[in-house]
Structure 1
Amino acid sequence: MFGPIIGPLLRGWITDNWSWHWIFYINVPIGIISILMTMFFITDPPYMKRMKMKIDYWGLAFLAIGLGCLQIVLDKGERENWFQSGFIVTLDIISVTSLILFVIVEMFAEHPIVNLKAFKGISFSTGNAVMFFAFFNLFGSIVLLPIYLQTLMGYTATLAGLVLGPGGIATMASLVIAGRLANKVNPKGILAFGIIICAYSTHLMSKFNLYADFITVAWPRVVLGLGMGFYLSP
């Protein structure tokens, strides 16, 4: 939980004091250290060394191309006037075609990177659906909140990060509580409680206006953090 707590504060400070480019540059040395640690300290267990793993390169390629093009469409679509742009239309076609081919390849691949047959299980499919909507709520608010604060409210990047940071602390605390409760009560109840809390936080955010003070905008983020802890654990 260190990332969600310190990340918004650190990136806000970096943006205000250096430049937003350094938010990406700072990951380069961290990535190099991670690669070196993986090379020197992560080893396969003996039974995996005896296995001849076949990688589904076609599935991996179609997934990367499909999602990559979709990401660019969602990021640049409004600026390019959506389907009035030949560039966006071309990427749409490539994305849809690649994702369809990805599904076809995964259905017949011997070692698929995504086993689509797992979705036949009702618990697995339902769990994925619940996770999709909950994280849609989480990441949607995390993306929109700094934009609202910096564009409309005149906050600096550091102050916007200060609004987001306490939510990570709230999640850390509620994860501990939820983990202990999971051994005593039905986890479905904890999950439902967490989702309700997350929904309530979004309701609070819908009340924002141009006269909201710091506590008013920070408190819903804390409530969301609490809800996510009860949601994530079960």
Structure 2
Amino acid sequence: MTVIVAESHYQPPNQLLTTLGLSLATFMRVLDTTIANVSLPTIAGNLGVSYNQSTWVITSFTVCMAISLPLTGFLARRFGEVKLFVWCTLLFSITSMLCGLSESMGMLLLFRAIQGAVAGPMYPITQSLLIAVYPPEKRGMALALMGMVTVVAPIVGPTLGGWITDSYSWPWIFFINVPIGIFASVVIGAQLAGKKEITERPRVDYVGLIALIVGVGALQIVLDKGNDADWFHSPFIVLMSIVAVIGLIVFVIWELTDREPIVDLRLFRHRNFSYGTILLILSYSTFFAMGLLLPLWLQRTLHYTASWAGLAGASIGIMPVLLTFFVGKYAPKTDLRLVAAAAFVVLGLTCFAQSHFYVGIDFMHVALVRGFQGLGVALFFMPVLTILLSDLKPNEIAAGSGLSTFLRTLGGSFAASITTFVWDRRAVVHHAQLASHITPYNPTARDALEKMGQGGHAQRAMEILNDEITRQGFQMAFNDIMHVLGWVFIALIAVLWLTKPPFHAKSNARAAPVED
């Protein structure tokens, strides 16, 4: 007779220390996606390049990370999850140190690209390892912790990066990773040394790998540089778009037909993984667009400094920190679709609230709305992550996590490019509509201009009025976008009910048959 051994988990010598090591590595990795943003002007000045050239510090990291993310499953099968995590984290620390020691932009871009490449597998492997070291009844807590780190780290990044750059020097935004990464890699290497893993020597799918590098690399460059280059008015963007389309078409066709694909797109045969990934992409992209637009609006429209804009938005991290324990403990005992639906309702309502912001709004009002928005964020990540991993086989967890994280990251890049483009274009439309009312036949406008132009300052009065119209145009465009984002969150509730319970994040420990 053959029976199946019940699913088990690996118990490390010290579960708390293991969780700390995994969490610190993830926090460091997610933090690095935003910490350098506010330091670019300083980096450009110190290395003697233009600001536009310095933006490749961000692009080189995101391009290489986007390429390596979907390779997580292949690398985990080849080297094992623990070894992959330890080496990626250690290399991340080494390249961080080399970034800080760079004396030219070329050196910085090279080490930043390597840093992005090793950063890719870190998040999905951390997710898989957290699930592996917790028993089934506590895996919701592990995923809730991942959600909190994913939300808090990007919020801390710009504020911390600005403070380090102003108080010390820009290399320290990279140097701070070194002790964290070494600590995390040593702790996890020691704590999970006894974890049994089955490694394989899969055939390297060179055609799929090359198509992935070319297609995803070109697409990420288009998304990062499109706004600055005026999109398809630029021959470079047109060329990169053609390369991206051809590369991605070849990649998808080849991976679906190859016997041993380097990225297993067949994972989408799982219902919950398919709809869960769609939920993750759309909800994260909407959340990312909202988080990107708010500080831009605060600085451009309300004339906040970068530091004050960061503080106004930072309140969104309070609720996830306070509620992580409760969400992780109690949410798995309910229908996770209800928890996620509640999160989307809160996020949608706060988007609608932001669609009524105005140029005279005070700091506290903005911070309170963002703080309440944190409730939706606290309820959002854990249910969605659990749903999309729930019907994967144990040995598919790392690959599924890597693929979904890759698509989530790509969705965030699309959201960033589309949001800033639409905001600028809508602002132009609203400016034209508002300016059309400034005519000699409009008594209100005429009286205002006469008062402002008293003393022979008519030209200055027109300049002031035009600046205010521009400001109001950006405000109205901000309100338009927030209104649309609110409806996107509400619409996602319907997608939730396309998934089917039971929802249970499986361990990557493999069940084994036992002969009786």
Tell me the equivalent position of 1:121.
270
CA displacement, residues 120-155 of structure 1 (integer Å, 9 cap, x when unaligned): 222221111111121012111111111111122111
CA positional deviation for 1:212: 1.4
**Alignment partner for residue 30 of structure 1, among 159, 177, 182?**
177
Aligned residues: 230
Tell me the equivalent position of 1:143.
292
Q: Is 2:247 the counterpart of 1:98?
A: yes
Partners of 1:12 and 1:159 within 8 A in 2:
no
Structure 1 residue runs of 5 or longer lacking an equivalent are none
CA positional deviation for 1:29: 5.6
State the SS of the aligned residue for 2:198: helix
Tell me the equivalent position of 1:202.
351
Partners of 1:8 and 1:164 within 8 A in 2:
no
**Alignment partner for residue 158 of structure 1, among 303, 307, 310?**
307
CA positional deviation for 1:44: 9.0
TM-score of the pair, normalised by structure 1: 0.83
Quick one: which amino acid aligns to residue 48 of structure 1?
Answer: I
Taking structure 1 as reference, are residues 116 and 204 closer, same or farther at Cα in structure 2, changes over 3 Å only? same
Quick one: which amino acid aligns to residue 230 of structure 1?
Answer: L
* RMSD over equivalenced CA pairs, Å: 2.9
TM-score of the pair, normalised by structure 2: 0.40
CA displacement, residues 44-97 of structure 1 (integer Å, 9 cap, x when unaligned): 955435x32444444333223322222222233233232222111100001111
Tell me the equivalent position of 2:198.
48
CA positional deviation for 1:8: 4.0
**Identity fraction in percent:** 35
1:219-230 mapped onto 2 (5 Å cutoff) = 219-230=368-379
Q: Which moved more, 1:34-43 or 1:167-176?
A: 34-43
Partners of 1:195 and 1:227 within 8 A in 2:
yes
Q: Is 2:160 the counterpart of 1:10?
A: yes
CA positional deviation for 1:227: 0.4
Alpha-carbon distance between aligned partners in 2 of 1:5 and 1:73, rounded to the nearest angstrom: 25
For the pair shown, which has the larger CA radius of gyration, 1 or 2? Answer: 2
Alpha-carbon distance between aligned partners in 2 of 1:31 and 1:62, rounded to the nearest angstrom: 33
Q: Is 2:251 the counterpart of 1:88?
A: no
Alpha-carbon distance between aligned partners in 2 of 1:181 and 1:17, rounded to the nearest angstrom: 42
Structure 2 residue runs of 5 or longer lacking an equivalent are 1-148, 384-516
CA displacement, residues 159-188 of structure 1 (integer Å, 9 cap, x when unaligned): 111122221221222333322332432111
Tell me the equivalent position of 2:431.
none
Q: Is 2:343 the counterpart of 1:188?
A: no
CA positional deviation for 1:231: 1.2
Taking structure 1 as reference, are residues 29 and 76 closer, same or farther at Cα in structure 2, changes over 3 Å only? same
Taking structure 1 as reference, are residues 56 and 197 closer, same or farther at Cα in structure 2, changes over 3 Å only? farther
CA positional deviation for 1:104: 1.7
Alpha-carbon distance between aligned partners in 1 of 2:154 and 2:310, rounded to the nearest angstrom: 10
State the SS of the aligned residue for 1:182: helix
Quick one: which amino acid aligns to residue 10 of structure 1?
Answer: L
State the SS of the aligned residue for 1:26: helix
Alpha-carbon distance between aligned partners in 2 of 1:82 and 1:52, rounded to the nearest angstrom: 43
**Alignment partner for residue 173 of structure 1, among 322, 325, 337?**
322
Alpha-carbon distance between aligned partners in 1 of 2:264 and 2:352, rounded to the nearest angstrom: 37
Quick one: which amino acid aligns to residue 6 of structure 1?
Answer: V
Taking structure 1 as reference, are residues 154 and 181 closer, same or farther at Cα in structure 2, changes over 3 Å only? same
Taking structure 1 as reference, are residues 178 and 82 closer, same or farther at Cα in structure 2, changes over 3 Å only? same
Taking structure 1 as reference, are residues 29 and 11 closer, same or farther at Cα in structure 2, changes over 3 Å only? closer
Partners of 1:138 and 1:224 within 8 A in 2:
no
CA displacement, residues 10-59 of structure 1 (integer Å, 9 cap, x when unaligned): 1343465578xx3x87236626963796489546955435x324444443
Taking structure 1 as reference, are residues 33 and 228 closer, same or farther at Cα in structure 2, changes over 3 Å only? closer
Tell me the equivalent position of 2:472.
none
